[in-house]
Structure 1
Amino acid sequence: MSRFNSIDDVWVFLNSIPLFQKAGVSAVNYSLDNISKFCEALGNPQKEYPAIHVAGTNGKGTTCHLLEKIYSDAGYNTGLFISPHLIRYNERVRVNQREITDQDLLRFFQRTETLLDDIKLSYFEISTALAFWYFADQKVDIAIIETGLGGRLDSTNIISPEVSVITSIGMDHQSILGDTIEEITAEKAGIIKPDTPLVIGNVTGVSKRILEATALQKNSKCYAVIDLKPEWNNGSVTLKDGDVQIKTLFKEAVNKWNVVSSWLVIDVLKSSFPINEAQRILSIEKFTGAPGRFEKIHSDYEWFFSGSHNAQALESSLQAVQAIKSISETVLVFSAMKDKLNEDMLEYFKGFKKAYFVEQDGERAAKFSDIKDSLDVELMEETQKENILNELKTELVIFMGSFYFYPIVKRWTANVS
C-alpha cells in the first residue's frame, strides 16, 4: 500500500526532511549525483522543454517572476520554479502563473514513491525534480528555473537552457560557496553552458571578468545589461539612452537591473519566442512585484516587507525607505538567520526611530542574545506583538532581515485592522 494516500501524507514526508531554513548546511546536498540519477529514472523530464536558467545573489527571484509574466502575457505556456516558498510549498512550482495543485503534488509523490526510497534526495532536490516532472507533464512552452544555492553544483544545473542569466554577485552563503568574491563568482559561473548565451546583470569588477572569461572559454556569447544604459527615476526605467521608457510599480532602484535582465533575455530568445516591444513594456508596467520584495504588507498602513538579508539587498531596501521618509522617522521590525549576522550586517539596522527584533524557531535562527549588545533594539515577543503593532499604525514600518520572516509577518498583519 502506498504511504502517499492523501496530500497530508506528502506534508508529513516533506516535514520529515531537514530544511535549509532551520537546519542550515546540513540540509544541503551540494552535488549533482543523486538528482541526475533520480531524473534519469524519471525519463529526464527536464529535457522535454526549453528553459531559462537564472542564478545570482540578489534579483534572481524578481527576474524570474518578470520573465514568467512577460511570456505568460504573450500567450506562452510558462513554467516557473523558485525557492524558498514563503507561505506554502506549492508556491515553488507554477504553470501559467498558477501554483501546482495538491492533487498534482500527490500524483508526483505516488509516481515516485519507490524512487524516493532508492535515491535519497534533499528537500530542495525533491522540489527540483517535482518542477522538472510537472513542467513536462503540463507541456510548457518555456520554463524559468531559479537556482537555489550557487550554480555549479545546484540541483537545477542538470538542465541545458536556451540562455543562462546571472543577475548579481555578492557575499552570501560563504559556508557553501566560498569565502571570497572570486570563489563565489566561480560557483555562479558554473551554470554557463557551452555555446549557450549568457546574460550578465548588475555585475562589475573581478566578478564580471570571471564571468566573461568563463563564457569565452565555453564559446558562449555575453550580453551585459550595462550596455543598455538603464536609468532609474522614481520608478521609471529608461533604456538605450531613453529610447525605451517603462513606468514600473517598483519601489527599489535596484530593480532597473532586473527589468533590463529580463529585457535582454527576451531579446536573446526573440527568434524562438517572439514578443513585440509594446507587449513586454505593458507586462513590466503591470507587474506588481515578486512577493516579499519591498512589498506593501498591509493595505491600510505604510508597512512594507523586504526579505533583504545581505549587504546589497539591505542597502537597496534602505534607499527605498529613505525615498519615503528618513530612517530616523522609520520603525524597524526585523529577524535574521544566525549565519547571516555579522558586524557589517548589523550596521544596516542602526539609526531607526525604534527597532524591534523577532526570534524565529530553528537552529539557524538568530536569538535576541546574539544582537542585544550590538544594537539599540527591543525583543518583540508573541505576547507583545498585538499591542506593539497597534501602536505602529501611524508609523512607517519596514519588516526585514529574512524571507523566512515573511509568513510570520503576513499572519500578524492579517489580524491588524
Structure 2
Amino acid sequence: STNIVMPLVSVITNIGMDHMNILGDTIEKIAIEKGGIIKKGIPVVIGETDKTTASIFELIGAAKQAPVYFADQRQYVAEWKYEHHKLMTGVDSQHHTDRTAYLLDLPGYYQTKNLLTVLAACTVLQENGWKLPESVIQSALRQVKKMTGLHGRWDIVHQHPTVILDVAHNEAGMQQVVEQLELTDYHDLHIILGMVKDKEIGKVLSLLPSSAHYYFTQADIPRALDANELREQAAAAGLRGKSFPDVNTTIKEVLAKAKPEDLILVCGSVFIVGEVNL
C-alpha cells in the first residue's frame, strides 16, 4: 500500500480476494500489502477479526510499535432493524452492559460491520485526547451520504418498483449483497449485471440466485466485459437472461415490465452503477 499522509489512526476494514494482480494472490499476501498503511507509533483499527490475517497485523503492529485494535472485539451489534430505509442498531460493549442506539442513513445490514469499525476508530481518537462527543458521532452517522457523497451501497433510488444500486463486484461484496437480498421483501427479483474483465467472474456468478430474472449489460469503458460474453458465462452457471448494450437501456426495459412490488438490483461494477441515470 502507498500512502503519504501521517494519520491520527489507521483503519483496515476487511480483507478480500480482489485486485490480486496488484495486492497478491492469497489472503496472507493481501494482508501484508494492506498492512503497509500501518505507521510507526500510530494506532490501527482492524474492522474484522480473521484467524488468517490477525497475526499478520499484530506482527506488523509490533514491529512498528503501533497498537492494534480489532473493532469486533470491542463492541458488537446486539440488535438492528430497518425503518424508512434507514438502519437502526443497538451496540453493546464487550466489557460493559450499556447499549447505545445508532441510526444510519445507509440501509444495508452489512453496514453494521462498518459501524463497529467507525466506533472503534472514534474510541481510539478519544483515548488519545481528541474531544469527540457522542452527539457528534450520532449526528454524523445519521447523514453519511450527505457528508461523504457515498452512493452505490444498497442505494435505493426508485420506488414501486424498488430499484437498488450496489457496487459489489467481487466474491466478498456479492456475498454481502446476496445475504441482504435474503432479508428483503419483494415479489420478483430482476438483476441487472455488468462486470469488468479482470474480476473472478465465475465466483461471483456462483453466488447469485438462479430464480432471478437476469439482464446482462456493460459499462462504456475498455475494461468492461462484453455483455454477450457475460451472458454466456452466466448461462453456464445456470443464470439465464438477455444482453443489452448499456445499463440505462436495460433499466428502461426492466422498469416497463416489472410490477410495483418487484425489486430491481443493479450491480457487478462501480462503472455500471456510475452510469445509471434515474
How do residues 358-373 of structure 1 correspond to structure 2 at under 5 angstroms? 358-373=217-232
Partner of 1:209: 55
Asked whether the equivalents of residues 227 and 245 of structure 2 are also in contact (C-alpha less than 8 Å), the reply is no
CA shift, 1:309, in A, is 0.8
Counterpart selection for 1:376 from 205, 223, 240: 240
Aligned partner letter, 1:248: L
- Go from structure 1 to structure 2 and tell me whether the alpha carbon gap of 1:381 and 1:392 turns closer, same or farther (over 3 Å shift): farther
How do residues 168-247 of structure 1 correspond to structure 2 at under 5 angstroms? 168-231=14-77, 232-234=79-81, 235=87, 236-240=89-93, 241-247=97-103
Partner of 2:84: none
Partner of 1:75: none
- Go from structure 1 to structure 2 and tell me whether the alpha carbon gap of 1:260 and 1:190 turns closer, same or farther (over 3 Å shift): same
Provide the C-alpha distance between the structure 2 equivalents of 1:224 and 1:305, rounded to a whole number of angstroms: 30
1:302 paired to 2:168: no
Partner of 1:99: none
Aligned partner letter, 2:263: L
Residue-by-residue CA offset, 1:222-269 (whole Å, 9 max, x unaligned): 111112231252231413155222133333222112112111222222
Provide the C-alpha distance between the structure 2 equivalents of 1:333 and 1:174, rounded to a whole number of angstroms: 25
CA shift, 1:299, in A, is 4.9
Provide the C-alpha distance between the structure 1 equivalents of 2:211 and 2:106, rounded to a whole number of angstroms: 23
Moved more, 387-396 or 217-226: 387-396
Asked whether the equivalents of residues 350 and 376 of structure 1 are also in contact (C-alpha less than 8 Å), the reply is no
Aligned partner letter, 1:404: F
- Go from structure 1 to structure 2 and tell me whether the alpha carbon gap of 1:199 and 1:220 turns closer, same or farther (over 3 Å shift): same
CA shift, 1:207, in A, is 1.0
Provide the C-alpha distance between the structure 1 equivalents of 2:11 and 2:30, rounded to a whole number of angstroms: 15
Asked whether the equivalents of residues 167 and 203 of structure 1 are also in contact (C-alpha less than 8 Å), the reply is no
1:401 paired to 2:268: yes
CA shift, 1:385, in A, is 5.0
CA shift, 1:393, in A, is 5.3
CA shift, 1:346, in A, is 1.0
Provide the C-alpha distance between the structure 2 equivalents of 1:385 and 1:189, rounded to a whole number of angstroms: 40
Asked whether the equivalents of residues 192 and 267 of structure 2 are also in contact (C-alpha less than 8 Å), the reply is yes
CA shift, 1:366, in A, is 0.8
Provide the C-alpha distance between the structure 1 equivalents of 2:250 and 2:70, rounded to a whole number of angstroms: 49
Asked whether the equivalents of residues 201 and 257 of structure 1 are also in contact (C-alpha less than 8 Å), the reply is yes
Provide the C-alpha distance between the structure 2 equivalents of 1:179 and 1:408, rounded to a whole number of angstroms: 30
Provide the C-alpha distance between the structure 2 equivalents of 1:275 and 1:408, rounded to a whole number of angstroms: 37
CA shift, 1:287, in A, is 3.4
Asked whether the equivalents of residues 360 and 405 of structure 1 are also in contact (C-alpha less than 8 Å), the reply is yes
CA shift, 1:377, in A, is 2.3
The gaps in structure 2 that reach 5 residues or longer are 82-86
Provide the C-alpha distance between the structure 1 equivalents of 2:91 and 2:159, rounded to a whole number of angstroms: 29
The DSSP-based 3-state class of the residue aligned with 1:313 is helix
Provide the C-alpha distance between the structure 2 equivalents of 1:342 and 1:358, rounded to a whole number of angstroms: 14
Counterpart selection for 1:325 from 185, 196, 200: 185
The DSSP-based 3-state class of the residue aligned with 1:312 is helix
CA shift, 1:300, in A, is 5.2
Partner of 1:251: 107
Asked whether the equivalents of residues 215 and 221 of structure 1 are also in contact (C-alpha less than 8 Å), the reply is yes
TM-score, normalised by the number of residues in structure 1: 0.57
Asked whether the equivalents of residues 192 and 266 of structure 2 are also in contact (C-alpha less than 8 Å), the reply is yes
Partner of 2:174: 314
Specify which structure has the higher proportion of strand. Answer: 2
The DSSP-based 3-state class of the residue aligned with 1:269 is helix
Provide the C-alpha distance between the structure 2 equivalents of 1:300 and 1:384, rounded to a whole number of angstroms: 17
The DSSP-based 3-state class of the residue aligned with 2:208 is coil
| Structure 1 vs Structure 2 CA RMSD | 2.2
Provide the C-alpha distance between the structure 2 equivalents of 1:385 and 1:251, rounded to a whole number of angstroms: 22
Provide the C-alpha distance between the structure 2 equivalents of 1:237 and 1:355, rounded to a whole number of angstroms: 36
Aligned partner letter, 2:4: I
The gaps in structure 1 that reach 5 residues or longer are 1-150
Specify which structure has the higher proportion of helix. Answer: 1
Partner of 2:130: 273
Alignment length (residue pairs): 256
CA shift, 1:365, in A, is 0.8
The DSSP-based 3-state class of the residue aligned with 1:219 is coil
The DSSP-based 3-state class of the residue aligned with 2:11 is strand
How do residues 110-189 of structure 1 correspond to structure 2 at under 5 angstroms? 151=1, 154=2, 157-189=3-35
Provide the C-alpha distance between the structure 2 equivalents of 1:314 and 1:274, rounded to a whole number of angstroms: 38
Asked whether the equivalents of residues 336 and 402 of structure 1 are also in contact (C-alpha less than 8 Å), the reply is yes
CA shift, 1:197, in A, is 0.4
Larger Rg: 1
Asked whether the equivalents of residues 75 and 116 of structure 2 are also in contact (C-alpha less than 8 Å), the reply is no
CA shift, 1:361, in A, is 2.7
- Go from structure 1 to structure 2 and tell me whether the alpha carbon gap of 1:381 and 1:362 turns closer, same or farther (over 3 Å shift): closer
Aligned partner letter, 2:118: S
Partner of 1:263: 119
